Chain A
Amino acid sequence: MDCEFELGDDTLYSVKWYRDNEEFYRYMPKYDPPKHAYKMDGVKVELSKSDERRVVLHQVTLKSSGLYRCEVSAEAPSFASAAGEGRMDVIYLPREAPRITGNEQENRKGDSLFLNCTSSRSYPAAVLSWDIDGEKVTDPNLLVQYPPIQHAHGLVSTALGLLVPTGRTMQVKCTARVAPAWREGSEAVVGNSQLADSKEAMLLGEREA
């Protein structure tokens, strides 16, 4: 992360980096060494790559998310200060496509078919939706909601049920989306009595401080 500043005629006293108001790195040119990092959960400063205007974190985890802020102060007597901040979030995309499960025989015998769609683990949780013959199912009478399933390290999986009308062969598709503003989820296409896998992609949306 870069912190850009102009001192004008002042000399630099300190550049301090905070995550969520807790200092994790500082650069003070009068001190030896001028760079100093504090250990924090999820924040591992790569001192060799960091200097007065940049801090480099490595091995970011979900715990690395937070409000990052740099504060630049001039030397005495004014100690004039300025600060800038930005948010950094770390996400975990599903490793697998959503999986569709159902009962064929029940579908033949009765007049409807019941299918379940379950997402793979992710952070934040994936949002599931059903399409029938390319049209998104919005009738809440056909959809069955389930509570999310918590997994280790804060990962979550979700599930969504679908009642499929009988009488003809339909193409059903379950789509999982994570952080919809920044990424497209992959879809799994289910043919008549057949299930097809779908692929996924991951994007990281970032806003610069």
Chain B
Amino acid sequence: MFLEFSPLEEHYGVDEAMIPYFGRHGCKQHIKVPMTQVVAIAGEPVYLPCDIATQDEDDAVLLVLWYREDLGTPIYSVDAREKDFGIAERWSDESVFASRAYFLPERRPAELGVDRVRSTDQGIYRCRVDFKQAQTRNSRVNLTVIVPPNKMVITDDKGDMKQAIVGPYIEGDSFTLKCDVSGGRPRPWVKWYRDEVEMDTPVTVLSGGAVRGVLRVGPLTRTDVRAAFTCRASNHLRSHPIETTLTLDMNFPPLTVHILGSNQPLSARRRYDLLCQSAGSRPPASITWWKNGHRINNAKETLSTDGNTTTSTVSLQLTKSDAGAKLACRASNPQMPSVAPLEDDWILDIQYVPETVVRLGTNLDPRNIREGTDVYFDCIIRAHPYVYKVEWRHNGKTLIHNVGQGVIISNQSLVLQGVGRKTAGNYTCVGFNAEGDGESKPFSLDVLYAPTCRSSQQRVHGVAKQERAHISCHVDANPPEVSNSRMLLQFRWTFNNTANSNEVSDTYISRAGTTSTVTYTPHTEMDYGTLLCWAHNRIGKQRVPCVYHIIAAGRPDQVHNCSVVNASLTSFGIRCSEGFNGGMPQSFLLEVREILTQELVANVSSAVPRFTAIGLIPGRTYAAAVLAYNAKGRGDPYPLRASTLRPPEKHHVHDKSLDLPRTAFQMSGAMSAAVGVGGVIMVVLVLFLIGVKQKCAKRKPRSGPPPSSQPGSPDKLREKDDSESDDRNPDIIPSDTDHLQLDYYRKQQVSTISPPPGSRMPRGSVAGVRGSIPAYCPLRTAPPQHQTMIDSSLSQTQQGIPPPAGFGSGSCTLPRGSSAGLTAMAAGDRCIPLQHLRTLPRPMATPTPLPRHPPRDTPL
């Protein structure tokens, strides 16, 4: 075999070997076999040059042989000895290039292409070209196969492998990163880059052949965060380096923390959303709120888009007690628990609505302030900012400094001189500042006083003989009677008539609060008179008694001042003023009749003398009558004419025809009142009263009601009565109805004397009695035959409407008194018979005739 003749590698690889032994001095040099350096990246194709060009045109390539120098046998051949070169026989050693190799003769120089070159392909190759004529040509290729490094491992100081992130570190830290690269031929270089800037990288070769590049970083500052450290390793410019990039993660404590808008005064009234911002922490700061060291929990955090700023919002409603408190906002990095949190403080300045308290003067006993005392108050104020104004209020109404009225306001004090019962009530003081008005709780000033008679109570009681009446005395007193102690409010009653004055026995007196009630039954004429009532409490005795007139009860008086209001096509309204109720509750009745036929077309009752008649015929005039009634019977009707509106085309005036009969009627009414008084007793009484006071007799018994029945006169007070009938269809009214109407009114007349209009006390008539007490002229009445003294029948008759009192029917008339007469009675004149009061509870079988003189044997 040829193996022992293997070529000597030294002669090919080392050029010095080509020099002949005497080369330095010799005259010729050996011709080297040319060698081309080729570098290939593993896995890529490589092309090995081999010049096969011929020198002469008639020469030709016979054979191309490729040798690898460590092998004696060719690894690739192109045999063109018997074929054209293009189709020449090609052969490739299966153990070397196999199918990866292909000869490219058309290239200049021709090349042997090798695909997917392997690291084992590295070596020196020789190409031998045999020509038909020319000398054999040998050339060599030194193929270097670059194998890129295949593995990179980065470890930190702790030996932990790092792949994308290194850290987190904190400011001031230093650290090293080791980048170990294994694999690769030739040995790769390893370099560290920071943000693509090459860093000084000491390199050592490890025992296993790996190459280690070390990077030293630090001391770190905030600006180093997110720095990108790249370890890059390669062994040839043409091969892609392998690399790993690590991003530096760092933790920072917060740099700043601020409560936004701090150190401003806050209002206690309002809810505030307070903001605290912290910047510079990484990861983002966590913010907590504290008030005087106590954690506030309802904060909400938001993070800015760049993640640098944390904003915490806390919603606070602060109170006055928070003034001076330390509100703190603390920012900390949750990843750095050992770093003290950053804090911003705010000493709270709380402004609030003034808080005020009314305090009574210290030497005053609030439970024992009597009328006439001087009282003073202080307004105790807590306010921030301090008040600019202080105001005092009495029952909600602002008090004004008025020395004349005894109201003295100075600074924060209120002085009330000579307090009265009207001075009592709730006192408040109000402090004003920028936060608002602070009104104190009310101080209830209680002013004590002796009893006085309460105004607006029933002063006149119409009572029939044998009728049991309950006369109530209402007083104002402070303290009012509330308990059964010795300080009881006590009442005393006396009965006065013309003859004498008697104390009322306690057995007839009952008491409820500040009201005392006497049960009273007149039996004789002498039992009509005046009841006086005194009360006293611990403050004192009532100075002026309450006065109640007991008069004989009767029918109510005629209403007056009637007028037609709100006439329409089918309705009209009527309003009247009520007259004396006869001493008992009264109701009112309206009757509307056809003038011609006297047919009743409407019948309406009401508690007040206001009516509306509906369902009438347009343009017609009706005869209306208004009357009052009570349990004693009916009062006299008040007749008037009322018309519905006429349709526009038929409208004409009836006023004249209406005015005339009314005037006549009123005159007639007056006359009949003057002459209609009948009965012996009545006459006696009248004469008696005339004798006592001339004024009573002189007084006109009635003032005529003003005619105001014009149709369509406006009146806002319109009342409807459901009971009035609207299904009537009155006939056409005759053109001349004056005579008939006059007749009607005449029939309705009774001999009633009306009290003064409005029952008001005339001016200048006060003499010893305070308050508005109606006064009456002399009266006479006879109880109606059907009247009973039984309570149940009384209530029954109150419900129904008594029959109209007919002319000359003998029905009773009410007692009449003028103001002058009343004044006289109150002054002590006896003009009413004394009743034997002890016999009051006993029911009388028959009415006792009125004695002419008061009995002397009254056992009171």
B1-39, CB < 8 A from A? 1-3, 5-8, 11, 18, 20-22, 25-28, 30-33
Q: Which residue of B lies closest to A13 (CB)?
A: B63
B858 at the interface (CB under 8 A from A): no
Contact A23:B20 (CB < 8 A) given known A80-B73, A85-B8, A154-B27: no
The answer to whether B28 touches A82 (Cβ under 8 A) is: no
- For the complex, give the distance between the alpha carbons of A138 and B420 in Å: 161
Query: Among the listed A42, A65, A77, which residue makes an inter-chain contact with B20, where contact means beta carbons less than 8 Å apart?
Result: A65
B80 CB, nearest partner CB in chain A, Å: 11
Q: How far is the CB of A72 from chain B (nearest CB, A)?
A: 7
A residues engaging B (CB < 8 A)?
5-6, 8, 14, 16, 20-23, 26, 38, 42, 62-63, 65-67, 72-73, 76-85, 87, 89, 124-125, 154, 156
A38 to B26, CA, bound (A): 23
B315 CB to nearest chain A CB (Å): 96
Extra contacts, 4 of them, besides A5-B5, A72-B2, A124-B22 (Cβ < 8 A), are A67-B11, A76-B79, A76-B89, A79-B77
A16 CB to closest chain B CB (Å) equals 6
Main secondary structure of the interface of A (DSSP, over half): mixed
Kindly supply a per-residue 1/0 record for chain B positions 589-605, scoring 1 wherever the CB is within 8 Å of any chain A CB and 0 otherwise. Answer: 00000000000000000
Report chain B residues within 8 Å CB of A16.
136
Docked pose: A77 CA to B11 CA in angstroms: 28
Known: A14-B130, A21-B33. A82 touches B135 (CB 8 A): no
Also in contact, A87 and B20, with CB within 8 A (given A16-B136, A65-B28): yes
B138 cross-chain contacts in A, Cβ below 8 A:
21
CB of B28, distance to nearest CB on chain A (Å):
6
Known contacts A23-B135, A76-B89; A62/B74 CB under 8 A:
no
B346 at the interface (CB under 8 A from A): no
Is the pair B2, A80 in contact by a Cβ cutoff of 8 Å?
Answer: yes
CB-CB < 8 A to A26: which residues of B?
A: 136
Q: How far is the CB of B374 from chain A (nearest CB, A)?
A: 147
Q: Check A22 against B27 for contact (C-beta < 8 Å).
A: no
Contacts A6-B1, A65-B20 known; A21 to B31 CB distance under 8 Å? yes
Q: Is B67 positioned at the interface, with any CB of A under 8 Å from its CB? A: yes
Contacts of B27 in A (CB 8 A): 62-63, 154
Could you tell me the distance between the alpha carbons of A146 and B138 in the complex, rounded to whole angstroms?
44
* Minimal Cβ-Cβ distance residue in A for B130: A14
Q: Does B91 have its Cβ within 8 Å of any Cβ on chain A?
A: yes
Question: Are A78 and B73 touching (Cβ within 8 A)?
Answer: yes
The docked-state distance in angstroms from the alpha carbon of A41 to that of B620 is 172
* Minimal beta-carbon separation of A155 from chain B (angstroms): 10
Tell me which of B18, B22, B65, B91 contacts A89 (CB under 8 A): B22
CB proximity of B134 to chain A, nearest CB, Å: 9
CB-CB under 8 A from A6, the residues of chain B are 1-2
Q: By the criterion CB–CB under 8 Å, are B136 and A23 in contact? A: yes
Cβ contacts under 8 Å, B758 to chain A: none
Q: How large is the interface on B (under 10, 10 to 19, 20 to 34, 35 or more residues)?
A: 20 to 34
B72: CB under 8 A from chain A?
yes
User: Considering the chains assembled together, what is the distance between the CA atoms of A5 and B1 in angstroms?
Assistant: 8
A147 to B473, CA, bound (A): 174
How many Å lie between the Cα of A79 and that of B63 in the bound state? 10
User: Which residues of B are found within 8 Å of A67, using beta-carbon distances?
Assistant: 11, 18, 20, 30
Contacts of B91 in A (CB 8 A): 77
How far is it, in angstroms, between the C-alpha of A20 and the C-alpha of B77 when the chains are bound?
A: 24
**Do the beta carbons of B21 and A66 come within 8 Å of each other?**
no
- A22/B135 in contact, CB under 8 A: yes
Docked complex Cα distance between A73 and B63 (Å): 12
Known A21-B30, A21-B32, A83-B7; judge A8-B1 contact (CB<8 A): yes
Please name all residues of chain A whose beta carbon is closer than 8 Å to the beta carbon of B74 when the two chains form the complex.
78-81
Q: Contacts A21-B31, A81-B74 known; A5 to B20 CB distance under 8 Å?
A: no
- Give A16 to B360 CA distance when docked, in angstroms: 145
Minimum Cβ distance to chain A for residue B689 (Å): 177
Query: Can you list 9 contacts pairing A with B, beta carbon distance less than 8 Å?
Result: A6-B2, A20-B30, A23-B135, A42-B28, A77-B79, A77-B91, A81-B72, A82-B2, A89-B20
Contacts of B25 in A (CB 8 A): 124-125, 156
Residue of B nearest to A79 (CB): B74
The answer to whether A80 and B30 have CB atoms under 8 Å apart is no
Asked whether A82 and B22 contact (CB < 8 A) given A5-B5, A67-B11, A77-B91, the answer is no
B2 near A81 with CB under 8 A, answer yes
Most buried by A among B3, B6, B74, B135: B135
Listed from nearest, the 4 A-B pairs whose CB atoms lie closest are A82-B2, A20-B30, A82-B5, A23-B135
Task: Kindly list chain A residues whose C-beta atoms are within 8 Å of the C-beta of B5.
Answer: 5, 72, 82-84
Q: Which residue of A8, A16, A23, A81 has the most chain B CB atoms within 10 A of its CB atom? A: A81
Q: Give the docked Cα–Cα distance between A87 and B74 (Å).
A: 26
B91, closest chain A residue (CB): A77
**A21–chain B nearest beta-carbon distance, Å:** 5
Query: Once the chains are docked, how many angstroms separate the CA of A72 from the CA of B1?
Result: 11
The answer for the CA separation of A187 and B91 in the assembled complex, in Å, is: 65
Q: B44-74 toward A: CB 8 Å interface, digit per residue (1/0)?
A: 0000000000000000000101010000111
Does B11 contact A85, Cβ atoms closer than 8 Å?
yes
B13 to chain A, nearest CB (A): 14
Q: For the complex, what is the distance from the CA of A149 to the CA of B72, rounded to whole Å?
A: 47
- Kindly identify which residue among B11, B21, B72 contacts A80, using a CB–CB cutoff of 8 Å: B72
Q: How far is the CA of A14 from the CA of B65 in the complex (A)?
A: 13
Q: How far is the CA of A38 from the CA of B134 in the complex (A)?
A: 9
**A81-B74, A85-B11, A89-B22 known; A20 vs B2 contact (CB < 8 Å):** no
Query: What is the CB-to-nearest-CB distance from B595 to chain A, in angstroms, rounded to a whole number?
Result: 160
Chain B nearest Cβ from A152, distance in angstroms: 12
Given A67-B18, A67-B20, A79–B65 Cβ distance below 8 Å? yes
Determine whether the beta carbon of A38 is less than 8 Å from that of B135. yes
**A81 B30 Cβ-Cβ under 8 A:** no
Beyond A21-B31, A63-B28, A89-B21, is A81–B73 a contact (Cβ under 8 Å)? Answer: yes
Give Cα A167–Cα B25 distance, bound, in whole angstroms: 42
Residue of B nearest to A72 (CB): B2
**Inside 8 A of A8's CB, which chain B residues have their CB?**
1
Query: How far in angstroms is the closest Cβ of chain B from A156?
Result: 8
Residues of B close to A85: CB separation below 8 A: 7-8, 11
B136 closest partner in A (C-beta): A23
Among residues of B, the one whose C-beta sits closest to the C-beta of A179 is B22
Say yes or no: A87 contacts B135, CB within 8 Å.
no
Which residues of B lie under 8 Å from residue A14 when comparing CB positions? 130
Query: Smallest CB–CB gap between A43 and chain B, Å?
Result: 11
Q: What's the Cα separation between A80 and B65 when bound, in Å?
A: 10
**In the assembled complex, which residues on chain B have CB atoms less than 8 Å from the CB atom of A82?**
1-3, 5-6, 72
Q: Which residues of B contact A76 (CB under 8 A)?
A: 77, 79, 89
B30 to chain A: which residues have CB within 8 Å? 20-21, 66-67
**How distant is the Cα of A63 from the Cα of B22 in the complex, in angstroms?**
12
A residues less than 8 Å from B136 (CB atoms): 16, 23, 26
Which chain A residues lie closer than 8 Å to B20 at the CB level? Answer: 65-67, 87, 89
Which residues of chain A are near B31, meaning CB under 8 Å? 20-22
Return chain B residues, CB-CB under 8 Å to A42: 28
**Bound-state Cα–Cα, A66 to B77, Å:** 30
Complex Cα spacing A65 to B11, Å: 17
Q: A82 to B11, alpha carbons, bound, how many Å?
A: 15
Question: A1 CB to closest chain B CB, in angstroms?
Answer: 14
Q: Which residue on A lies nearest to B82, using beta carbons?
A: A76
* Chain B min CB distance to A105 (Å): 39
- Residues of chain B lying within 8 A (CB to CB) of residue A154: 27
Q: Which residues of B contact A156 (CB under 8 A)?
A: 25
CB pair B26 A65 closer than 8 Å? yes
Q: Chain B, 747-784, contact with A by CB distance < 8 Å: what is the 0/1 string?
A: 00000000000000000000000000000000000000
- Distance in angstroms from A147 CB to nearest chain B CB is 13
Q: Report the bound CA distance from A6 to B4 in whole Å.
A: 11
- State the Cβ distance, B126 to closest chain A Cβ, in Å: 10
Chain A residues, Cβ within 8 Å of B21: 87, 89
Most buried by B among A8, A22, A89: A22
Q: Which residue of B lies closest to A148 (CB)?
A: B25
> Please, which residues of chain B bring their CB within 8 A of the CB of A80?
2, 72-74
